[in-house]
Amino acid sequence: MRRTVLILGAGVMQRPAIRAARRLGLHVVVADANRDACARDEADEFLHVDLKDRDGMAEAAAAVRRRRGLDAVFTAGTDFSSTVAWVAKRLGLPGTAYEAALNATDKFRMRRVLRGAGVRVPDFAVLTRVELERSGCASVRPLVDLPVVVKPVDSMGARGVVRADDWSAAEAFAHEAVAFSRSESVVVEGFIDGPEFSLDAIVYGDDIQITGFADRDIRFPPYFVEMGHTIPTALEPDEQTAVSSEFRRAIKALGLGPGAAKGDIKLAASGVVVGEVAARLSGGYMSGWTYPLSSGVPLSEIALRVALGEAPPRVRPLWRKTTAERAIISIPGVLREIGGLEKAGGVSGVEEVFITRSPGDALTFPRNNVEKVGNIIATAGEREEAVGAAETAVAATVAVLEPGIEQTDRFLFGAVGAADPVPPEYRQWAYARHAADRDDEALWRRVREEWSRRRSSERGSGGRIEVGIPDVLDRSPDLDWSYRTPQATFRRLAADGRLRLCPWSPDTQTTVSRLLLRAVCKGGLQGGLYLLDTLVPRAPSRVP
């Protein structure tokens, strides 16, 4: 009978592990709370079990063992490594000890252990829901200096993670963040300024092999949204050594292994600071896609062998390429369709195009790493080529929104304020800061009604919109968050004939022209298409 592995999670991030297990000839059992998990059919068996339910998972695993034997329990890209460790402990399987897994799951516990071992971490304090409701942030103010980062004690994907520059904001963010915590607690820690890196490692005894080492692109403060990562890192060798050394120290201090470890490490002006360490392989497409593509190393297979109790081989890259992952994001609205996917997939060097949303889904501007529309991965021999391919592919795509949605109207044409999900420095291009400072919602409603009456009376499309592009936009080399220049965006908007580009003059500064400029500056190609689709409807299949 084939050896059997139980893999926790049956989503996209678990696909590489499931496929690696099958290549190793294992009988693969997957467990997930989602009956419709996308990778469930790639396994031999599926168990409908909540990954948070440690005892329920252990009972399900024991049933598998009684039926056919069970040789390993494993996860990658989930925040349930403590459930893995609990099952391994109950069934006597190889893996990180349960107490050590808790060290790498509870962020407050993690920081206490690391600080006690002399590993550099931010200053920190913890708040429970009860303490927060009783006295706000009063108990943590003496312990942490502003600015601070508020984060759930036990969550992943940057859910609920926010920077606060004053204590009133910190308290408000803490009330939001505690909802993402299973233990109803948040960590408040000092903000560490500096670049951030993701690292993977294989741990076996005292041997810690650093595998992936990637540069992360974190944007949209006060949130921490990873817009992509590039592997291998561009850090200088001595800085790489410093980051890797502190990661190894953290792994040992937490007591992880045998198994995998993942770290988020920052390089501040004062030195290396450990953000987080998890007792698993990384998610975010790194361990399963970008590292193997850049190195040829079958990392998931190696980690599975360790979970089976085997000593890992020496990890040696078969080749050295650069792989870049970049995100596709959206402004608020309801998804109608996604255009440009075929063109994106045809960009030289593109390896994968992942779409995580479907027509009819409500979209929002991302405040964490699970609120994206998709991701694109590209590989090339040189760093610039890989990054360029990934960004070119993202620029080819567009998430087209349904017209007439209140959230989209408010985002594009409403007054800019504290509730605006896009920080001023990240609105589309510098011009947006001037084009989007007014409250134009009432004006937009009037224009929309006028064009609707015109279409009804003329029984036509409502005409073509003429717009002049200001010189500051026409000459701008700046890229928006979809890696498009203003010129490229307007050319694409004009491609299907509903928009005519004209010289910038008083004659082209009409009300509709001004609203279109605002929509494009605030929402890029998405914003422009939303306005055009509202005023001059088109066939759904004709996405520019």
- Give the whole-angstrom CA distance, residue 226 versus residue 369: 6
Residues 463 and 372 in one domain: no
Residues 414 and 541 in one domain: yes
Two structure tokens written together for 153:
């004690």
**Is 109 within a domain?**
no
Residue 428 pLDDT level (bands cut at 50, 70, 90): low
- Give the whole-angstrom CA distance, residue 479 versus residue 400: 19
Residues 424 and 498 in one domain: yes
Residues 270 and 392 in one domain: no
- How many domains, in total, are found in the chain? 5
215-235 pLDDT per residue, tens: 999 998 899 999 999 999 999
The type of residue at 34 is N
Residues with Cβ within 8 Å of 124's Cβ and at least 6 positions away in sequence, in order, are 108, 111, 143, 144, 187, 188, 189, 190
**Is 10 within a domain?**
yes
The strand ranges marked E within 242-368 are 259-268, 271-278, 322-328, 333-339, 350-355, 362-363
Residues 259 and 330 in one domain: no
Buried b (16+ CB within 10 A) or exposed e, 501-522: beebeeebeeebbbbbbbbbbb
Range of the domain at 370: 321-402
State the pLDDT at residue 403.
94
**Is 311 within a domain?**
yes
**Is 108 within a domain?**
no
Provide the CATH number for the domain around residue 377.
3.30.470.20
Residues with Cβ within 8 Å of 500's Cβ and at least 6 positions away in sequence, in order, are 464, 465, 466, 467, 494
Residues 201 and 307 in one domain: yes
Quote the mean pLDDT of the chain: 92
Residues 390 and 487 in one domain: no
Residues 326 and 349 in one domain: yes
Residues 177 and 264 in one domain: no
Least confident of 2-11, 320-329, 409-418, 506-515: 409-418
- Choose the final residue of a domain: 384, 402, 420: 402
Residues 203 and 172 in one domain: no
Residues 425 and 293 in one domain: no
**Is 104 within a domain?**
no
**Is 102 within a domain?**
no
Task: Taking residues 392-401, report their average pLDDT.
Answer: 97
**Is 106 within a domain?**
no
Residues 446 and 539 in one domain: yes
124-128 and 185-190 beta bridge pairing: antiparallel
Portion of the chain with pLDDT greater than 70, in percent: 94
Task: Taking residues 351-375, report their average pLDDT.
Answer: 95
Burial of 175 (0-12, 13-18, 19+ CB in 10 A): middle
- Give the whole-angstrom CA distance, residue 285 versus residue 292: 10
Residue 459 pLDDT level (bands cut at 50, 70, 90): low
Least confident of 19-33, 155-169, 375-389: 155-169
Residue 462 pLDDT level (bands cut at 50, 70, 90): low
* pTM (two decimals): 0.93
Q: Is the pLDDT of residue 470 over 60?
A: yes
Task: Taking residues 347-369, report their average pLDDT.
Answer: 96
**Is 500 within a domain?**
yes
